Copies of this chain bind each other. A is one copy, B any other.
Amino acid sequence: MRRIPGGKGVVELADGQGGVETLRLLEELFFRRVKEHLKRVEGGVGIDFPDDGALIPLPGGGFLVVTADSYTVNPPFFPGGNIGSLAVHGSINDVVMMGGRPVAMLDTIVVEEGFPMGDLEAIVNSMLEALEKEGVPLIGGDFKVMPKGQLDRITVTTVGLGVARSPIVDKPRGGDKIVVTDYVGDHGAVILMLQMGMGDVEEIASGSLKSDSKPLTPLLPVFEKFAGYIHAARDPTRGGLAGVLNEWARSGGLLAVIREEEVPVRDAVRRFAEMLGVDPLYLASEGAAVLSVSPEVAEEVVSELRGRGFPNARVIGEFRENPKYRGFVVSETGVGGHRIIEPPRGVIVPRIC
């Protein structure tokens, strides 16, 4: 084992893919230390760390939601968006997944010397446009340039600020239904095609496949209406649906059972995934959400979602208390068999977001 502590070895690409390796590295490098750190720090705000976002109680009631994410997507322009709109939507969605209404954003941009000014302008314009559609102001930022050859084109970091009256605490419960709001895997499929040289941006876009990058703020009224019944919400980015379900099964000590044929996947994504031997459950989405919902309201939540611009929303499975298979995710196949959905590992698509 090359792992820390001890500090031997080097960081590997898989360590940043959001799968098993990432969780292990974060656990050993951050979570354990940060837990101790938070104990030692006076005035700690009483938060469980392991996430890209945090909730801070506000003096007047409710919570401030803060999230930070760095985007490295390669290539920076893709059908359905670019690194700028992706970063804005991504941080908006991180705020929304915690039950927060986005109220402001900051950004930092690092570009490589020689990056085309027109591309930078297009990216900034996309960011501002995406923010304006959501009524969210950009209130600050930083800009740096790295010498040629020291950064591949551009990275964007966005900080999302929001306010949550009833935050979602990301704790699925036994019996909860698993609801998916939309098709999954679009973004991952598009970036994978581009990285494999299976067409340029125009060709792929003309094939009707594009990134699903979009803001998930239309979910907020549903979250508000069913406050207390939605126990966890995530957008399945790096690691895809398989990643989220495995993290939840592990953190909740539960067995997740899904019916794979219920998972909404676009035909084009399914065909492409089959061709490459990739499972769409592991492909990133940037405009879908997975919810863990009290069983008594699950169908009501689904019909509410369908009426609010998510016509593909559906229940795809449930969490069960099962001491023998706690932490597992399985798919029930038609004939009564089971297939284990392993947590993501290795490198499926580097620099997906």
Contacts and interface: CB of A to CB of B under 8 A. Distances in A.
Please classify how large the interface on chain A is, using the bins under 10, 10 to 19, 20 to 34, 35 or more: 35 or more
B58 A58 contact: yes
Interface string A130-152: 01100111111111111111111
A28 B33 CA distance: 43
A64 B5 CA distance: 37
A12 B142 contact: no
Interface in A112-136: 112-122, 124-125, 128, 131-132, 135-136
A159 B122 contact: no
Copies of this polypeptide in the complex: 2
Contacts of A161: 56, 66
B350 A147 contact: yes
Contacts of A276: none
A325 B47 CA distance: 53
A103 B80 CA distance: 38
Contact of A138 (B8, B25, B37): B37
B146 A49 contact: no
B115 A69 contact: no
Contacts of A16: 111, 143-146
Contacts of A299: none
A258 to B, nearest CB: 27
Interface string A322-348: 000000000000000000000000000
Interface string A1-31: 0111111111111111100001001100110
A135 B54 contact: no
Contact of A8 (B22, B41, B103, B118): B118
B29 A121 contact: yes
Contacts of A117: 2-4, 7-11
A67 interface: yes
A142 to B, nearest CB: 5
B159 A106 contact: yes
A34 B146 CA distance: 24
A114 B11 contact: yes
A197 interface: no
A159 B26 contact: no
Contacts of A107: 68
Interface in A88-112: 103-104, 106-112
A131 B7 contact: no
Given A7-B116, A40-B132, 5 more contacts: A7-B117, A37-B131, A38-B137, A45-B104, A106-B159
Contacts of A144: 16, 70, 72
